[in-house]
Amino acid sequence: METNEEIKTMVKERYGKVAEQSKSQKSSCGCGCNSADTADDVVFDLDYAKLKGYNPDADLSLGCGLPTQFARIKEGDTVIDLGSGAGNDVFVARALAGETGKVIGIDFTEEMIEKANENNRKLGFNNVQFLLGDIENMPVENNIADVVISNCVLNLVPDKVKAFKEIYRILKPGGHISVSDIVTTGKLTPAIKSIAELYAACVSGAIEKSKYLDIMKNSGLINIRIDKENPISLPDETILRYISKEDLDDYRKSGISVVSINVYAEKPAEKKCC
């Protein structure tokens, strides 16, 4: 079983390759797989092109939802995007936050930060910033964000308890989150869970939906709700690259499903004294 640091290293290497490949070709699949090895494993129908602020150079097809769709971002908001990649959701959020807002993208892959900064230089935004950092220990101060968004990234973070505690820390009182992510409706079989190569394709890194929501609640977040949920089908031919037919049959018989969700939650507002 991989340690947390080994998982981080593996994910960082995979996403670094995706960023490098994007210089010559666009990734053809969603959620972190890349065209060199697991192309078309999981494809999400995300119509970003219709969103204000969309920049095709920043869209590496790595998401599993549209977190800004439910994020209630207002003009003047400070928004933080966790696992910001090449800046896709950052630039959409910036269009909503406007000239008076600020959007910060955090990513722990150097190549992604480089790609995002390159995209921002072309766009010339002075209220967009990309920071190299770990979601389990974010390089930003307390109570800074009105809104936190993330798109198919938190499922890849090994210590989700730390991640949501950090989200709580950086949110302003009364602030909220809107995250798209991958969860399961039951516990994945050991064979599926052990496939390291699928961590960057969002499946093996996913945890049970109930546990995911409990972690959010235990971090202090309130008014938690699922705004959208869609089933995900991972083709048999993809899984069979890594496990036996018998293990695949066990997985299918388990009745466990993998779903993409968009979750909203709030940090409690400060109580007014007297």
Count of domains for the chain: 1
Range of the domain at 179: 4-266
Q: Is pLDDT at 158 greater than 70 in this prediction?
A: yes
C-alpha to C-alpha distance for 72 and 45, rounded to whole angstroms: 22
Identity of residue 54: Y
Bin 124: left if φ > 0, else alpha if -120 < ψ < 50, else beta.
left
Asked if the model's pLDDT at residue 258 lies above 70, the reply is yes
Residue 274 is assigned to a structural domain of this protein? no
CATH code (residue 110): 3.40.50.150
The span from the CA of 250 to the CA of 127, in Å, is 50
CA angle 181, 186, 192 (to 5 degrees): 80
pLDDT tens digit string along 181-228?
989 888 877 777 666 455 545 666 788 999 999 999 999 999 999 999
Residue 273 inside a domain? The answer is no
Residue 108 domain flag: yes
Q: Is position 77 within any domain?
A: yes
Confidence of residue 40 (pLDDT cuts 50, 70, 90): very low
81 band by pLDDT with thresholds 50, 70 and 90: very high
Work out the burial of residue 105: count CB atoms within 10 Å of its CB; fewer than 13 is exposed, 13-18 middle, 19 or more buried: buried
Residue 272 lies in a domain: no
Residue 252 inside a domain? The answer is yes
Flag whether 200 is in a domain: yes
- Domain contains 173: yes
